């Protein structure tokens, strides 16, 4: 599914060379995933003539492939949060997101996102997005029930508990199974259609059109094997996804993740929107970062286990979100040949039935000594790690990594080790978190920080709220994509 082929020209066409405009619109949107749909709805509602160009034969993008929990809160709490007994301050949400992304955070976007999160909930439900007033309490990667609210990140894990009061903010759509993404895109697509937005499917955007002053005036698209020129009188919005499907771009910009991870997204995530933006002088940011995961739960019971490197050292509190754990596991492998998940039989539980992980059993042992030998770990190393861990766990403490007491109990024989080494079985999915440098308004900036007139972007074509897997939570990307898609649509329409 990946490509190294150049699919777009980064260099723009000059509008002075355009003899004829085949299509004339106010707002041209490239990409009909979550960002493009949200942008189209808002731009149309603001009175603009809107035209979408989508590479695939249907709407959806990567949003439709996702679970589409949507990360919302603050403002005292969304109706679902309130119904489930949670209060959520906006400042608490801001503090949490800042703790998640540190000096990689875009503080302006975080504030804007949090202050308007309740509004975004209302906008979504206004379009018919259904949320049940219920909570899913188990530790899960996604809700397979139609329950709404769940903890989808590191809210309850150290060190985030030092920075913000834990509140669940993942909002799962009211639908059984992992079907939130398709349902969300169905609703957004219907909303687009009901606004008589013009949609061209099977249309490849080839390059932007700009004038001598550097203002973006349109795009060149290929439809039915014919090049068409599109005049966009108010602006072009790039919502073309990230670049996880473009191996050459991943290697160049995010080499840490160019190590055989599995890209998750749609085949159009080739970075074409980013490249087109760069071609008209747009700056980029956070290009080196990706989401990555080691999805070791379900079963949640594995959280009682410990993750170790080839020195039998633990390196992360195992009650973190799978993205944070995956990120740390990936980083640990720069100086480790093996990564193992050590569990006892009780923790192993329904692993074989429930897991998405794909990790093979690397060893078993009736004692730690036996397991240590089977894994060829340094003599005494695993014995020390387990005995220290168990000593703390028996008192509900984890002095080294501060795993929460709820996930602490001594590990008891017999033991099982899962091989979590990259390239030896386990599923390490990834997608990109860097892109065009944009304001919260969706306006695209050049490297000097000046706005490029006529150009907007949203979704994973930009760097948004989520900046690193180490602070990611499920729902942050779909939340960012839909919210900032809306803002870009409004900005373009009001030009």
Residues of this chain that bind its own copies (CB under 8 A): 6, 8-11, 14, 102-104, 212, 214, 251-253, 255, 258-259, 275, 278-279, 281, 283, 285-288, 311, 313-316, 328, 331, 334-335, 378-381, 384, 388, 399-401, 437, 446-450, 470
The neighbouring-strand residues paired with 429 are 262
- What is the C-alpha to C-alpha distance for residues 486 and 403, in angstroms, rounded to an integer? 38
The neighbouring-strand residues paired with 340 are 308, 419
Q: Could you tell me which of 464, 441, 493, 486 has the C-alpha nearest to residue 127?
A: 486
The neighbouring-strand residues paired with 199 are 52
- What is the C-alpha to C-alpha distance for residues 402 and 184, in angstroms, rounded to an integer? 37
- What is the C-alpha to C-alpha distance for residues 104 and 122, in angstroms, rounded to an integer? 29
- For the bound state, the minimum distance from the C-beta of residue 326 to its own copies, rounded and expressed in Å, comes to 14
- For the bound state, the minimum distance from the C-beta of residue 104 to its own copies, rounded and expressed in Å, comes to 5
8 A C-beta contact, residue 69 and residue 478: yes
Polymer length in residues for the chain = 495
Is 176 or 376 the residue whose CB approaches its own copies more closely?
Answer: 376
Angle of helix 476-493 relative to helix 117-126, nearest 10 degrees, comes to 80
Question: Kind of pairing, strands 451-457 and 226-238?
Answer: parallel
Is 126 or 449 the residue whose CB approaches its own copies more closely?
Answer: 449
Query: Which tokens in the block code for residue 472?
Result: 């990611």
- For the bound state, the minimum distance from the C-beta of residue 371 to its own copies, rounded and expressed in Å, comes to 17
Element spanning 352, H or E: helix 351-354
Q: Could you tell me which of 433, 444, 440, 25 has the C-alpha nearest to residue 228?
A: 25
8 A C-beta contact, residue 445 and residue 283: yes
Is 285 or 482 the residue whose CB approaches its own copies more closely?
Answer: 285
| Residue with tokens 């290929």, as numbered in its chain | 222
331: exposed, middle or buried (Cβ count in 10 Å: 0-12, 13-18, 19+):
middle
- For the bound state, the minimum distance from the C-beta of residue 254 to its own copies, rounded and expressed in Å, comes to 8
- For the bound state, the minimum distance from the C-beta of residue 32 to its own copies, rounded and expressed in Å, comes to 24
What sign results for the dihedral spanned by CA atoms 76, 77, 81, 82? Answer: positive
- For the bound state, the minimum distance from the C-beta of residue 41 to its own copies, rounded and expressed in Å, comes to 31
| Cβ neighbours around 57 below 10 Å, total | 8
- For the bound state, the minimum distance from the C-beta of residue 412 to its own copies, rounded and expressed in Å, comes to 21
- For the bound state, the minimum distance from the C-beta of residue 195 to its own copies, rounded and expressed in Å, comes to 34
Is 212 or 224 the residue whose CB approaches its own copies more closely?
Answer: 212
Is 227 or 450 the residue whose CB approaches its own copies more closely?
Answer: 450
Is 108 or 122 the residue whose CB approaches its own copies more closely?
Answer: 108
- For the bound state, the minimum distance from the C-beta of residue 95 to its own copies, rounded and expressed in Å, comes to 19
Is 401 or 483 the residue whose CB approaches its own copies more closely?
Answer: 401
Is 254 or 492 the residue whose CB approaches its own copies more closely?
Answer: 254
Is 44 or 276 the residue whose CB approaches its own copies more closely?
Answer: 276
- What is the C-alpha to C-alpha distance for residues 261 and 257, in angstroms, rounded to an integer? 7
Is 332 or 490 the residue whose CB approaches its own copies more closely?
Answer: 332
| Cβ neighbours around 322 below 10 Å, total | 23
- For the bound state, the minimum distance from the C-beta of residue 275 to its own copies, rounded and expressed in Å, comes to 5
């Amino acid at each position: 599914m990946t490509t190294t082929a150049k699919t777009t020209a980064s260099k723009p066409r000059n509008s002075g060379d355009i003899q004829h405009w085949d299509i004339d619109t106010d707002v041209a949107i490239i990409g009909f995933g979550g960002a493009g749909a949200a942008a189209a709805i808002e731009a149309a509602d603001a009175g603009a003539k809107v035209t979408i160009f989508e590479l695939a034969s249907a709407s959806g993008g990567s949003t439709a492939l996702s679970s589409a929990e949507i990360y919302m809160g603050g403002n005292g709490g969304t109706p679902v949060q309130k119904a489930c007994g949670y209060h959520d301050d906006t400042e608490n949400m801001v503090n949490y997101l800042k703790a998640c992304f540190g000096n990689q955070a875009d503080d302006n976007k975080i504030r804007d996102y949090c202050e308007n999160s309740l509004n975004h909930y209302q906008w979504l439900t206004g379009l018919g997005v259904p949320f049940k007033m219920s909570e899913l309490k188990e530790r899960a990667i996604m809700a397979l029930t139609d329950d709404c609210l769940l903890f989808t990140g590191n809210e309850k894990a150290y060190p985030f508990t030092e920075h913000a009061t834990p509140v669940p903010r993942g909002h799962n759509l009211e639908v059984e199974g992992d079907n939130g993404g398709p349902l969300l895109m169905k609703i957004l697509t219907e909303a687009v259609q009901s606004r008589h937005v013009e949609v061209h499917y099977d249309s490849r955007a080839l390059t932007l059109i700009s004038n001598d002053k550097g203002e973006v005036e349109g795009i060149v698209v290929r439809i039915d094997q014919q090049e068409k020129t599109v005049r966009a009188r108010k602006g072009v919005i790039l919502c073309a996804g990230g670049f996880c499907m473009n191996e050459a771009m991943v290697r160049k910009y995010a080499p840490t993740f160019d190590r055989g991870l599995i890209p998750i997204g749609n085949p159009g995530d080739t970075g074409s929107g980013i490249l087109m933006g760069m071609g008209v002088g747009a700056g980029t940011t956070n290009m080196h970062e990706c989401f990555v995961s080691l999805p070791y739960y379900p079963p949640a019971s594995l959280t009682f286990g410990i993750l170790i490197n080839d020195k039998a050292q633990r390196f992360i509190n195992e009650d973190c979100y799978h993205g944070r754990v995956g990120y740390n596991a990936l980083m640990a492998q720069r100086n480790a040949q093996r990564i193992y998940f050590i569990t006892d039989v009780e923790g192993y539980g329904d692993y074989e039935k429930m897991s998405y992980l794909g990790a093979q059993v690397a060893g078993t042992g009736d004692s730690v000594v036996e397991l240590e030998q089977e894994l060829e770990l340094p003599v005494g190393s695993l014995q020390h790690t387990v005995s220290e861990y168990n000593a703390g766990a028996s008192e509900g403490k984890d002095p080294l990594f501060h795993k929460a007491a709820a996930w602490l109990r001594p590990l008891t024989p017999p033991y099982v080790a899962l091989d979590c080494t990259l390239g030896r079985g386990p599923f390490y999915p990834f997608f990109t978190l860097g892109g065009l440098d944009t304001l919260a308004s969706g306006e695209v900036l050049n490297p000097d920080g000046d706005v490029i007139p006529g150009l907007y972007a949203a979704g994973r074509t930009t760097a948004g709220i989520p900046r690193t897997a180490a602070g990611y939570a499920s729902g942050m990307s779909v939340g960012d994509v839909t919210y900032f898609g809306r803002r870009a649509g409004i900005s373009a329409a009001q030009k």
